[in-house]
Amino acid sequence: MIEKIKENMEGHIGEEVKIVFNGGRNRVEEYQAIITEMYNFIFVVKLQNEVNEVKSFTYSDILTQTIEIYYK
């Protein structure tokens, strides 16, 4: 299943996406980001904000619905 997620994301490297992060206890954060790099267990995104912050997530975060990615 994780391989399928990786294959799907590979076609969107360099594209802008919307990431919804469910941090639990009613803490939901939304990010506009660009997928910059993909590794074996994590992927890196660069946020589209004032400081161009960089965040990393695991593919299992998508599988467990901790984050949701919406492609534009």
Each residue's pLDDT tens digit, 33-60? 999 999 999 999 999 999 989 999 999 9
CATH value of 2-71 in 2.30.30.100, 3.30.590.10, 3.30.70.120, 3.40.630.30: 2.30.30.100
Work out the burial of residue 48: count CB atoms within 10 Å of its CB; fewer than 13 is exposed, 13-18 middle, 19 or more buried.
Answer: middle
Model pTM above 0.95: no
Percent of the chain with pLDDT over 90: 90
Predicted local confidence at residue 20, as pLDDT: 97
How many CB atoms lie under 10 A from the CB of residue 26? 6
Q: Report the 10 Å Cβ neighbour count for 27.
A: 8
Q: Provide the residue ranges of all domains of the chain, joining segments of one domain with +.
A: 2-71
Number of CB atoms found within 10 A of residue 72's CB? 8
Q: Is the pLDDT of residue 5 over 90?
A: yes
**How far apart are the C-alpha atoms of 24 and 49, rounded to whole Å?**
23
